[in-house]
Amino acid sequence: MVQATASQMVEAEGSARLPLTSRMPVDPARALERMSLFDRVSLTARILAVNILPLALLGGGIFYLDSYRAQLLDERYKLARIEAQITAEALAGANRDRQEALLVQIGKEQDMRLRMFDSEGLLWADSFALDEPGFTLDDPTDDEFNLRFARWLDRMVDAVVSAEPVPDYIEPEAQTAEAWPELVRAREQGLSQIVLRDAPDGTPVITAAAPVGLNGATLLTTRNAVDITESVREARSTLGIGVALTLLASILLSLFLARTIVKPLQTLSRAASRVRLGRDRDVDVPRLPHRRDEIGLLARSVSDMTEALRERIDATEHFAADVAHEIKNPLASLRSAVDSLAKVEDPDLRIQLIDIAQHDVRRIDRLVTEISDASRIDAEISRAIFETFDLAELAENIITSREDRGLNNGHPIYLSKPSTPCFVMGVPMRLERVVENLLDNAISFSPPDGSVDLVVANDANCVTLTVCDQGPGIPPQERQKIFRRFHSVRPDAEAFGNHSGLGLAIGQTIAEAHDGSLSVTDRADGVRGACLVLALPEARTGSAALS
């Protein structure tokens, strides 16, 4: 019977919800607003809310036990009505002695109190007076704490569910039919009547009145349905204890989960704030190597990002210092020439000072141009669209263009390339700049009768472009320094200031932006000189352009 009642409750609840949902469509704007407000709550509070809310909803089932109680009372009403009617019929055909015997017997067997009233409304038989009482109403003043708490919980539930008030059960001083409203209605209507009252201890007292025979006598049955209250309280206590224990475990687990997530995030946040403020140069961003989850991946990514940021900041600071140093020298020379020009009257000396000033201006202009290119290469390549092209064909076009413009200073450039295309992916204009810088560098170090060899090869999924000169070569200890910005060791015969020292640095930056490299080696044929090697990943023929 309880299972059937529970299913009825679920069906009733579902049927009550559907119309409400249909009348309340979801507003996307309000939903987004609620989500934005939820985002302002701390992560710990969110974890607790997500884990506690379902349990709180489950705990709300304590209040729905009132429906279970109402169902039990309804069944008990029907039982009390049937008992009263059957007992009244049995009493109607018996004499007084038999009636008293029936009252005592039924009262003992059913734990009820039965009272007979005559046609005048006077009490003439009481099962409790004829024999020992079948039940006694509990005095709540002497109850233990758990019972007092149970009654308090009953009242709280009744208040939450807005239960209708139930009158208290009070024995009337005058034992007459007029003192019981249900007896009055039963005599007037000739039908059985049921009334519910509360005993002093909060348990239900069900009284049933039924007419006995046709002479106006009436029967009043009284039952203290303690079992209903005990059943509901037991179910409520079991559910409450289960929810409380589960809630406690959920809170502890939620706090543990929040600690494992929130604490490292707070540590990372504090470290990131120190990095942002720049108050601590060597901020130690925790890498959390023992964590293999997403938090650990995030910590290591933030640490790597911070290291890369430090390196970028250091490079920018060094670059700015180098720029200031490199520009300061020609500016000092220019200032000296300009200051001296106003004091010199010798025409030849004035012409010499003007030449110096013009040379310094060109040198500054070259420096500014090279510095501008070096500072924006990374950003431009990151936004550029890579395309597939033949590096050997690009090199051949560059050599032809240089010869047409007379940029090789009489040094022949010999190109060697394979019979098959050497496809790479990148920005042709930027890689052309690298090849031009390598050729300029090789020509500047080559002797007057020297030549330059340019070899394009395709080997092991890598395309290499090698530019070799016949100059003095590069010592092993200097081979990393030549790629530093503003590092320039020029031949003695070359005019000072014609190179900024940024060509190879720019070339290396462009190569690395294409997932390649730029390095220096000795000549493989044993001839004196140096070789600069540009290595790029091979692109498959017909590959689509990538961005």
Q: What average pLDDT does this structure show over 121-145?
A: 85
Give every CB contact of residue 386 below 8 A, 6+ residues apart in sequence.
425, 426, 427, 514, 545, 546, 547
Q: Any idea what the Cα angle at residue 156 is, between residues 155 and 159, rounded to 5°?
A: 85
Q: What is the share, in percent, of the chain residues with pLDDT greater than 70?
A: 80
- Whether 443 and 454 have beta carbons less than 8 Å apart is answered as no
Torsion angle of the four alpha carbons 157, 159, 160, 165, in this order, in degrees rounded to the nearest 10: 90
**Residue 41: which pLDDT band, with cuts at 50, 70 and 90?**
low
State whether 123 and 231 are in the same domain.
yes
Q: What average pLDDT does this structure show over 510-515?
A: 88
pTM listed for this prediction: 0.45
Q: Which has the higher per-residue pLDDT, 270 or 432?
A: 432
Q: Which domain holds residue 86?
A: 39-235
Q: How many domains does the chain have?
A: 3
Q: What pLDDT does residue 34 have?
A: 52
**Residue 481: which pLDDT band, with cuts at 50, 70 and 90?**
confident
State whether 482 and 335 are in the same domain.
no
Q: Is residue 81 part of a domain?
A: yes
pLDDT for residue 373 is more than 80: no
Q: What are the structure tokens assigned to 51, written together?
A: 């884990």
What DSSP letter does each residue of 325-353 carry, written as one string? HHHHHHHHHHHHHHHHHTT---HHHHHHH
The last residue of a domain, from among 365, 383, 401: 383
Computed over every residue of the chain, the mean pLDDT equals 78
Q: Residue 376: which CATH number?
A: 1.10.287.130
Q: What are the structure tokens assigned to 347, written together?
A: 């025409």
State whether 376 and 422 are in the same domain.
no
pLDDT for residue 536 is more than 90: yes
Q: CA 119 to CA 117: how far, in whole Å? A: 7
Q: What pLDDT does residue 389 have?
A: 93
Q: What average pLDDT does this structure show over 469-498?
A: 66
Tokens 């929130």, located at residue = 262
Give the range among 49-53, 163-167, 284-288, 361-365 with minimum mean pLDDT.
49-53
State whether 136 and 112 are in the same domain.
yes
Tokens 């005095």, located at residue = 139
Q: What pLDDT does residue 496 have?
A: 43
Q: What pLDDT does residue 221 have?
A: 94
Q: Is 286 exposed, middle or buried (0-12, 13-18, 19+ CB in 10 A)?
A: middle
Give every CB contact of residue 223 below 8 A, 6+ residues apart in sequence.
76, 80, 110, 111, 112, 113, 135, 205, 206, 207
Q: Is residue 241 part of a domain?
A: no
Q: Residue 477: which CATH number?
A: 3.30.565.10
The last residue of a domain, from among 235, 258, 276: 235
Q: What average pLDDT does this structure show over 56-81?
A: 77
Give the range among 111-115, 143-147, 420-424, 509-513 with minimum mean pLDDT.
143-147
Q: Any idea what the Cα angle at residue 464 is, between residues 458 and 468, rounded to 5°?
A: 125
3-state secondary structure of 242: helix
Q: What are the structure tokens assigned to 23, written together?
A: 């009348």
The last residue of a domain, from among 383, 411, 426: 383
State whether 390 and 512 are in the same domain.
yes
Q: What pLDDT does residue 63 have?
A: 62
**Residue 544: which pLDDT band, with cuts at 50, 70 and 90?**
very low
Dump pLDDT digits (tens) for 515-529. Answer: 899 998 888 887 888
Q: Residue 165: which CATH number?
A: 3.30.450
Q: Is residue 45 part of a domain?
A: yes
pLDDT for residue 357 is more than 60: yes
Dump pLDDT digits (tens) for 178-216. Answer: 999 999 999 889 899 999 998 888 889 999 999 998 888
Q: CA 187 to CA 122: how far, in whole Å? A: 13
State whether 422 and 318 are in the same domain.
no
Q: Is 212 exposed, middle or buried (0-12, 13-18, 19+ CB in 10 A)?
A: buried
State whether 357 and 390 are in the same domain.
no
State whether 210 and 70 are in the same domain.
yes
Q: Is residue 254 part of a domain?
A: no
pLDDT for residue 226 is more than 60: yes
State whether 357 and 451 are in the same domain.
no
Q: Is residue 18 part of a domain?
A: no
pLDDT for residue 356 is more than 90: no
State whether 115 and 230 are in the same domain.
yes
Q: Which has the higher per-residue pLDDT, 436 or 158?
A: 436
**Residue 464: which pLDDT band, with cuts at 50, 70 and 90?**
very high
Q: Is residue 9 part of a domain?
A: no
Q: What pLDDT does residue 322 have?
A: 63
3-state secondary structure of 517: strand
Give every CB contact of residue 544 below 8 A, 6+ residues apart in sequence.
none
Q: CA 198 to CA 270: how far, in whole Å? A: 63
**Residue 545: which pLDDT band, with cuts at 50, 70 and 90?**
very low
Q: What pLDDT does residue 497 have?
A: 45
Q: CA 338 to CA 369: how far, in whole Å? A: 23
Distances 259 to 48, 50, 251, 518 between C-alpha atoms, Å: 12, 15, 12, 48
State whether 223 and 160 are in the same domain.
yes
pLDDT for residue 423 is more than 90: yes
Give every CB contact of residue 474 below 8 A, 6+ residues apart in sequence.
482, 520, 530
Give kind and range of the element (H or E) at residue 214: none
Q: Is residue 31 part of a domain?
A: no
Q: Which has the higher per-residue pLDDT, 127 or 338?
A: 127
Q: Is residue 357 part of a domain?
A: yes
Give the range among 84-93, 104-113, 243-252 with minimum mean pLDDT.
243-252
Tokens 């409450």, located at residue = 240
Q: Are strands 452-459 and 123-126 parallel, antiparallel or unpaired?
A: unpaired
Q: CA 500 to CA 487: how far, in whole Å? A: 8
Q: CA 312 to CA 126: how far, in whole Å? A: 102
Q: CA 360 to CA 48: how far, in whole Å? A: 70
State whether 459 and 512 are in the same domain.
yes
Q: What pLDDT does residue 23 have?
A: 42
Q: Which has the higher per-residue pLDDT, 33 or 349?
A: 349
pLDDT for residue 12 is more than 50: no
